[in-house]
């Protein structure tokens, strides 16, 4: 028997527009393959003229959320307006009125899923958010339905397309950060205000969602260590390449005996690592399960149709599954009190120093690391790279050091001691995952 489903779309921007096109242009395909007859019954927009020009029939246009939820033909509300305040009120209104919600809003889910889910449970509605993380890559469905037989031990991902585009271009062309950011903005990969992406907030919100699902415990975004890419230089990318490393902004989650470890920061990985070849605006997530071993998902992390693909997959899932599932963990604003979070995490480290070109300097530097209980893998006095300020570095030489795995607190202590020696300065500190 064919099931009829009415959908409302809130917002007709990049994602909303792509969602509208997929639902209307693939209507017959979904009827044939999923046995579901989906009709867009309502579209909430500010600019009705733009919506009409887009091809939306006048009779489905709405001016407010009350109009949308009052429509008895609407079964599923799709939220694509972004932001938090208005989106939260719209979603809560829909859920209270008994409408299942599909959203692409990562910040909303990250910060308020506990509130939204509480209302959804009360009214028996579904709350789906595949499109909130990693665009068209089906990572959430994989965590919920694909690797649930496993205890997921680790996840490591390139989950922000803007920063991956910038770092890829810097690596391939030797351009500096500022130039590459402007190019990313010109091409539409970066916003006019790129803070959310380049400072790691976008990846932080996504990691909070994904690690909560993977580790079956609430991981608030406030527990995640965050560092953006604004201090990354082409010089360090070039030195890293010489050492066999590729630089990526990684979202890292680990669930071990010491507790849950979650962090977002620029990271050197071996050029042989599967994530090293993920370039341009593509995204990928690398999982490790105790039974399945390593799994990697790869694809477009943003864009109109890739993200709309994830939205519509949730619409179809909700349409064809009568039983609604909610979080497998206690979904509250804060973490469960029994869960331990690792703040002083372990990593290997790359350091670039500018040091006095004189005898005994290397011994003093090695002594600092020894006193801080940090062992070294590599110490190299390297040639200056293009772009290094000759005047600033006069009488000094660049020194690159790679450490064995050590604690974050120990490396920070070592950096403070090195800078206090007055024989040089630590110019860069980048974590290394092997």
- Parallel/antiparallel/unpaired status of strands 293-300 and 346-356: unpaired
Terminal-residue alpha carbon distance, the chain? 53
| Helix, strand, coil fractions of the chain, as percent rounded to 5 | 40, 25, 35
Query: Exposed, middle or buried, 33 (CB in 10 Å: 0-12/13-18/19+)?
Result: exposed
Tell me the β-bridge partners of 259: 256
Q: Which of 409, 412, 410, 404 has its CA nearest to residue 432?
A: 404
What's the rounded Cα separation, in Å, for the pair 154 and 211?
Answer: 9
Q: Which of 206, 218, 248, 254 is catalytic?
A: 206
Of 264, 321, 284, whose CA–CA distance to 126 is shortest? 321
Q: Give yes or no for a contact between 287 and 78, defined as CB atoms under 8 angstroms apart.
A: no
* SS3 call for 256: strand
206 among known catalytic residues: yes
Look up residue 84 and give its two tokens. Answer: 């938090």
Placement of tokens 């990697």 in the chain: 296
Contact (CB, 8 A) for 103 and 315? no
Query: Which residues lie below 8 Å from residue 315, measured CB to CB, with a gap of 6+?
Result: 5, 7, 23, 38, 76, 78, 102
The distance of Cα 212 from the centroid of its chain, to the nearest Å, equals 13
Residues 6+ apart with CB under 8 A from 389: none
Residues forming the active site:
206
């Amino acid at each position: 028997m064919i099931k009829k489903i009415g959908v409302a779309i809130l917002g007709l921007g990049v994602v909303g527009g792509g969602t509208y096109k997929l639902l209307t242009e693939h209507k017959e395909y979904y009827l044939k393959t999923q046995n579901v007859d989906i009709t867009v019954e309502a579209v909430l927009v500010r600019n009705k003229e733009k919506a009409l020009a887009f091809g939306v029939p006048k009779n489905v246009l709405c001016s407010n959320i009350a109009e949308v939820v009052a429509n008895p033909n609407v079964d599923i509300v799709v939220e694509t307006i972004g932001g938090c305040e208005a989106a939260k009120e719209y979603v809560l209104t829909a859920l209270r009125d008994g409408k299942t919600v599909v959203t692409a809003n990562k910040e909303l889910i990250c910060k308020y899923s506990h509130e939204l889910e509480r209302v959804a449970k009360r009214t028996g509605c579904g709350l789906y958010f595949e499109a909130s993380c990693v665009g068209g890559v089906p990572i959430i469905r994989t965590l919920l339905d694909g690797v649930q037989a496993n205890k997921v031990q680790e996840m490591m991902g390139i989950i922000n397309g803007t920063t991956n585009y910038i770092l890829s271009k810097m690596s391939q062309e030797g351009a500096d950060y500022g130039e590459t950011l402007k190019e990313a903005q010109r091409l539409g990969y970066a916003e006019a205000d790129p803070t959310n992406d380049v400072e790691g907030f976008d990846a932080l919100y996504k990691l909070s969602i994904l690690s909560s699902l993977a580790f079956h415990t609430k991981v608030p975004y406030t527990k995640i260590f965050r560092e953006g890419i604004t201090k990354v230089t082409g010089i360090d990318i070039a030195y890293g390449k010489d050492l066999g490393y590729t630089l990526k902004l990684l979202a890292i989650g680990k669930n071990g005996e010491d507790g849950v470890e979650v962090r977002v920061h620029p990271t050197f990985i071996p050029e042989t690592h599967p994530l090293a070849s993920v370039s341009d605006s593509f995204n990928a997530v690398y999982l490790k399960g105790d039974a399945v071993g390593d799994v990697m998902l790869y694809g477009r992390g943003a864009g109109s149709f890739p993200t709309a693909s994830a939205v519509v997959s949730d619409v179809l899932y909700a349409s064809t599954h009568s039983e609604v599932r909610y979080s497998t963990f206690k979904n509250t604003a804060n973490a469960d009190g029994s869960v331990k979070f690792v703040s002083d995490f372990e990593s290997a480290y790359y350091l670039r120093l500018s040091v006095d070109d004189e005898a005994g300097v290397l011994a003093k530097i090695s002594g600092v690391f020894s006193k801080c209980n940090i062992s070294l893998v590599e110490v190299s006095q390297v040639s200056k790279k293009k772009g290094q300020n000759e005047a600033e570095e006069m009488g000094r030489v660049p020194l690159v050091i790679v450490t064995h795995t050590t604690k974050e607190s120990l490396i920070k202590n070592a950096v403070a001691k090195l800078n206090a020696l007055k024989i040089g300065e630590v110019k860069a500190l980048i974590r290394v995952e092997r």
